[in-house]
Amino acid sequence: MEWMTRNWKVRPDRMFSLDGKVAFVTGGASGIGRAIALGLDAFGAHVVIVDIDVAGSRQVADQLSQDSMVVRADVTKAADVEQAVIKTVETFGALDIAFNIPGINIRKPAVELTEAEWRSVVDVNLTGVFICAREEGKVMLDQGGGSVINMASARGIAGGVSQSVYSAAKAGVIHLTRCLAIEWAPNVRVNALAPGYLKTPLVQEIMQDKVWFDKTRNLHAMKRFGEPEEVVGAAVFLASDASTFMTGAVIAVDGGWTAGVF
Q: Is 127 exposed, middle or buried (0-12, 13-18, 19+ CB in 10 A)?
A: middle
State the DSSP string of 202-219: HHHTGGG-HHHHHHHHTT
pLDDT at 3 over 80: no
- Is the preceding peptide bond at 186 cis, omega within 30 degrees of 0? yes
Is residue 9 a part of any domain in this protein? no
Is residue 159 a part of any domain in this protein? yes
Q: Structurally, how many domains does the chain consist of?
A: 1
More confident residue, 138 or 3: 138
What letter represents residue 178's amino acid?
A: R
Section 122-126 average pLDDT: 98
Q: What is the DSSP secondary structure assignment for residue 105, as one 8-state letter? A: -
Burial 154-164 (b: 16+ CB within 10 A, else e): bbbbbeeebbb
List pLDDT tens digits, range 138-173. Answer: 999 999 999 999 999 999 999 889 999 999 999 999
What's residue 1's pLDDT?
67
List pLDDT tens digits, range 15-58. Answer: 999 999 999 999 999 999 999 999 999 999 999 999 999 999 99
Is residue 75 a part of any domain in this protein? yes
Decide if 202 contacts 31 (C-beta within 8 A).
Answer: yes
Is residue 137 a part of any domain in this protein? yes
What's residue 252's pLDDT?
97
Which structural domain range is residue 198 located in? Answer: 16-253
Is residue 49 a part of any domain in this protein? yes
Is residue 260 a part of any domain in this protein? no
Is residue 210 a part of any domain in this protein? yes
Q: What is the DSSP secondary structure assignment for residue 8, as one 8-state letter? A: S
List pLDDT tens digits, range 84-110. Answer: 999 999 999 999 999 999 999 999 999
More confident residue, 218 or 122: 122
Based on the residue annotation, tell me whether 197 is a catalytic residue of this protein: no
CATH number for the domain harbouring residue 247: 3.40.50.720
List pLDDT tens digits, range 206-256. Answer: 788 888 888 889 989 999 999 999 999 999 999 999 999 999 999 999 999
Is residue 57 a part of any domain in this protein? yes
Q: Which of 166, 184, 197, 225 is catalytic?
A: 166
